[in-house]
Structure formats: structure tokens, C-alpha cells
């Protein structure tokens, strides 16, 4: 037996050496097994050992399906930064981007919503907010000298290597924070023609990888009752018609991508969150040239962000659900299309996570988590991963949840079967 064991160990050593020779980039990052364990805590993902892929996604009534027609629930996280003047996702001054992605995967999330700006796409910078060493040793070495768009390529590639999906989000035109102030999807410097061209470029850039499964056309259109984006109003401000133009332009390049369409902030005077009102879908749905590739994506926040009129002394979980039904949940309930709650979040204060006092942040957030638990067809993405954010899921080290109870609540609405981490053995994808 000892002889056979020695032979087996020798063969394994030869195979490992061969892999290192074939994948020098991995060798530079991981070295031998002992070095890899020291650098990454034993989490090693060689280029030749990519996680099984669920392929591109499509839809059927209220469900998103993978390439084998299995239901997928998007249980996502927003990792922002590319849209800002920094031009890079948060946390890379303290942590290796691969470690952050592995943390996302470890904590049960299956999708990353990745905001960017049109300025970043058209004029990418070499980011300064990045470190190449921390207390554990070298980090982000393969990002040295890369511009923002090339860094995004690296993030997407490694996300796919460990089985995560990515949804790209056109967060704003000029680099900056939050949504575009005008509420529109274009500015004088970045007209609609540029917006469409940038989307087509990104669709082409990632066409060879089903890691990027969809495009969130524009973050939080708003200003419907002023001079911003409106739904079914006609003219150059009509967001639902612009969404059709952009969706069809993207699908012309890659017909397998999911098109995510947010709402506006108001419809016929019924106001809610930026991007959160999809009442117009009842009479004027978005119509794309490729069927079964459309998902609607509202945003939702609590009274700490803004005290909407439905947050009051009479608020109950049932009254909150009635508001959600009217603004967007009916789309899923009636099987019109899938719904993905592209942003929601709260702080890490215990009272903001759960509570029974009417009209409070805790009542709202706890009620929403319960609602999502009862409605597994509705996907979601928490805002945000970033450790520097008031709502941040991770701590300042970008390795661990800052509030264990918040992560428990997120885990409670994760559907293990919907993660779709494995291919169907021996069966070709249907799409």
C-alpha cells in the first residue's frame, strides 16, 4: 500500500506541476499549494477549474430560467464604485478583488449588480484607489496599470470563474455619486446616441461570456412630474420607449441577454421611490424584439431614506404589501414578467433591521424580508456590499459581515436550489 501511495502522490505532484506550467498567471498568484494557502486561506481557483456555468438566462411569465429551464432566483449584492470619480469598485485599497468576490460567493449571493458610468466606459482612467499589498501580502497585482474598464473585465472574469453572475448597471452619465440628478438617461455631454452606443459596445465586449447575464438599462429614472423621465407620456422624456430602443439595440448584439427595466418615480401623480413606480406596465409594457428576455426592476427603501406617506402610525405589514402590489409586485403576481428588486437596504443598527413599531425602518425592512421569503419568484439585490457605506454588508476589511443578524436575514431569503451552481450532467443547454 505504501508503494501505491507513493506512486499516487508522485502522479499528483506531476499533474500539479503541469497545471502551473500551463497557467503561469495562476502560478504568479497562487504559487504552490502551501503558498496558496497562506495567501488566500486555502481558497484556490485555478483557471482550469472554473465553476460550472448555468449559461444565459431567459424568462417565462414571472420566472427567470437558466439554460436548462430551471428556475433562478437572483439573490444579489450591489458592489459600487466604477460609476464614481474613483472609477473602481470599493474595497480594493484594503483587499484583493478575488477575496471580495470569494466572500460574496461564501455568503450565499449568486449575482453582482455592478454600477458604472458612461464616462467610465468612454474615458476610462487608471484608478488611484487601489493597493497592491496589505497585511497578508501582495494584492491586486494583476490590476496594476489597468484602466477602469480593464479592471471591470478582471472582476467579471473571476466572478464567472467561481460561479457568480454579473448584471451591469448604467448608473449615471458623468462619473459621480448617486443617480443622474436630472432623472433622465442622457445629458448634453452624453446624449441618447452615446448611451445606446455604450450599451452595444459592452454587449459586444462580454458576448463571449455568459457571466454577464443582463443589462440594467438605467439607474433610477425620475422626475416624471417635472422635466425628468416619465412613463407612457410620449416625446423625448418617455422612459418606457427609450427602454425599448436600448433593449433592442443590446439584443441585436446579443439576443441572449436579460434586459432589466426600472420604473420611474411617479405615474399619473402617484409618487414613490426613484425607479420604483411600474404602474405604467399595466397599459404600456415594454415590448422587445426578442421574446422572454425582459425583467422589471423597481427600487425600494424605508423611512430613513425618505418618509413616504405610507410610513405612519397606522402602517402594518399588510398595508406595506398593498403599496408594493400597486407599484410593482402585481407584475410578478399576475405573471406578466419577472420582477427583480434591484436595490433595497438599511443600516446596521439593530432597530433598523426588524421591529413592530408602525412606520419605522425596522418594521419596513423586517416586513420586506418576510414578504420576499413568501414570494420566491421575486429576485433581489441588497444595497450595498461596500464596507464604507452606511448600509454596507461587509466590514472595513471587506471580508466579514459587519452585522451578523443582517446576513442571517439575507440568508433566510436565499433559495439554495435557485443558485444554479451545477450544470445538468451530460445534457446540452436548451438555450
Residue 430 lies in a domain: no
Residue 152 lies in a domain: yes
Same domain, 110 and 150: yes
Same domain, 25 and 115: no
pLDDT for the residue numbered 400:
96
How many independent structural domains does the chain possess?
Answer: 2
pLDDT digits (tens, 9 = 90+) for 141-172: 999 999 999 999 999 999 999 999 999 999 99
Residue 104 lies in a domain: yes
Same domain, 172 and 40: no
pLDDT for the residue numbered 52:
72
**Domain range for 10:** 1-49
Residue 167 lies in a domain: yes
Same domain, 61 and 204: yes
Read off the pTM. Answer: 0.88
Same domain, 112 and 18: no
Distances from the Cα of 218 to the Cαs of 31, 67, 73, 131, 259, in angstroms? 42, 26, 21, 30, 11
Give the residue from 28, 49, 70 where a domain finishes: 49
The active-site residue, picked from 220, 244, 279, 361, is 220
Same domain, 29 and 106: no
pLDDT for the residue numbered 13:
41
pLDDT for the residue numbered 69:
96
Residue 424 lies in a domain: no
Residue 218 lies in a domain: yes
Long-range contacts, 60-66 (Cβ 8 Å, 24+): 60/292, 61/335, 61/336, 61/337, 61/338, 62/331, 62/332, 62/333, 62/335, 62/336, 62/337, 62/338, 62/339, 62/377, 63/338, 63/377, 64/258, 64/295, 64/338, 64/340, 64/379, 66/420, 66/429
Residue 91 lies in a domain: yes
Same domain, 111 and 3: no
The beta-strand segments (E) located in 49-150 are: 58-60, 63-65, 71-72, 75-78, 111-117, 133-134, 137-138
Give the residue from 11, 34, 49 where a domain finishes: 49
Same domain, 76 and 44: no
Same domain, 97 and 21: no
pLDDT for the residue numbered 299:
98
pLDDT for the residue numbered 416:
64
Residue 220 lies in a domain: yes
CATH number at residue 367: 3.20.20.80
pLDDT for the residue numbered 21:
36
390 is catalytic: no
Same domain, 392 and 243: yes
Stretches in the chain below the pLDDT threshold 70: 1-50, 416-431
Same domain, 294 and 354: yes
Give the residue from 31, 49, 67 where a domain finishes: 49
Q: What is the DSSP string of 314-361?
A: T--HHHHHHHHIIIIIHHHHTTSS-BEEEEE---S-HHHH---STT-H
122 is catalytic: no
Torsion angle (degrees, nearest 10) of CA 120, 125, 129, 134: 110
Same domain, 66 and 168: yes
The active-site residue, picked from 180, 343, 354, 361, is 343
Amino acid at each position: 500500500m505504501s508503494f501505491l501511495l507513493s506512486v499516487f502522490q508522485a502522479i499528483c505532484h506531476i499533474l500539479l506541476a503541469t497545471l502551473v506550467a500551463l497557467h503561469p498567471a495562476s502560478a504568479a498568484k497562487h504559487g504552490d499549494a502551501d503558498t496558496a494557502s497562506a495567501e488566500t486561506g486555502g481558497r484556490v481557483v485555478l483557471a482550469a477549474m472554473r465553476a460550472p456555468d448555468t449559461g444565459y438566462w431567459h424568462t417565462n411569465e414571472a420566472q427567470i430560467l437558466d439554460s436548462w429551464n430551471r428556475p433562478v432566483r437572483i439573490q444579489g449584492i450591489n458592489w459600487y464604485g466604477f460609476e464614481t470619480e474613483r472609477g473602481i469598485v470599493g474595497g480594493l485599497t484594503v483587499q484583493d478583488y478575488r477575496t471580495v468576490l470569494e466572500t460574496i460567493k461564501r455568503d450565499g449571493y449568486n449575482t453582482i449588480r455592478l454600477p458604472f458610468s458612461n464616462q467610465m466606459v468612454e474615458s476610462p482612467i487608471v484608478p488611484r484607489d487601489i493597493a497592491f499589498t496589505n497585511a497578508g501580502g501582495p494584492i491586486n497585482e494583476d490590476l496594476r496599470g489597468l484602466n477602469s474598464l480593464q479592471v471591470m473585465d478582471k472582476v467579471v472574469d473571476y466572478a464567472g470563474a467561481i460561479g457568480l453572475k454579473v448584471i451591469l448597471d448604467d448608473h449615471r452619465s458623468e462619473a459621480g455619486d448617486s443617480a443622474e440628478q436630472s432623472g433622465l438617461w442622457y445629458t448634453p455631454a452624453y446624449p441618447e446616441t452615446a448611451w445606446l452606443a455604450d450599451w452595444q459596445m459592452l454587449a459586444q465586449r462580454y458576448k463571449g461570456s455568459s457571466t454577464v447575464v443582463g443589462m440594467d438599462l438605467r439607474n433610477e429614472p425620475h422626475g416624471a412630474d417635472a422635466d425628468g423621465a416619465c412613463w407612457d407620456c410620449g416625446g423625448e422624456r418617455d422612459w418606457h420607449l427609450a427602454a425599448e430602443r436600448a433593449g433592442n439595440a443590446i439584443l441585436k448584439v446579443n439576443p441572449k441577454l436579460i434586459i432589466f427595466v426600472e420604473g420611474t418615480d411617479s405615474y399619473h401623480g402617484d409618487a414613490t421611490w426613484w425607479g420604483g413606480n411600474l404602474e405604467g406596465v399595466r397599459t404600456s409594457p415594454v415590448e422587445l424584439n426578442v421574446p422572454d428576455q425582459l425583467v422589471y426592476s423597481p427600487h425600494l427603501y424605508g423611512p430613513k431614506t425618505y418618509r413616504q406617506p405610507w410610513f405612519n402610525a397606522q402602517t402594518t405589514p399588510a398595508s406595506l404589501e398593498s403599496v408594493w402590489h400597486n407599484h410593482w409586485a402585481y407584475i410578478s403576481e399576475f405573471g406578466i414578467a419577472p420582477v427583480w428588486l434591484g436595490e433595497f437596504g438599511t443600516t446596521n443598527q439593530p432597530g433598523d433591521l426588524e421591529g413592530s413599531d408602525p412606520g419605522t425602518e425596522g418594521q419596513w425592512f423586517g416586513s420586506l424580508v418576510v414578504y420576499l421569503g413568501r414570494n420566491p419568484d421575486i429576485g433581489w439585490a441588497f444595497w450595498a456590499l461596500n464596507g464604507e457605506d452606511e448600509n454596507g454588508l461587509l466590514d472595513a476589511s471587506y471580508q466579514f459581515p459587519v452585522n451578523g443578524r443582517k446576513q442571517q436575514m439575507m440568508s433566510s431569503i436565499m433559495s439554495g436550489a435557485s443558485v444554479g451552481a451545477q450544470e445538468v450532467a451530460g445534457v446540452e443547454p436548451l438555450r
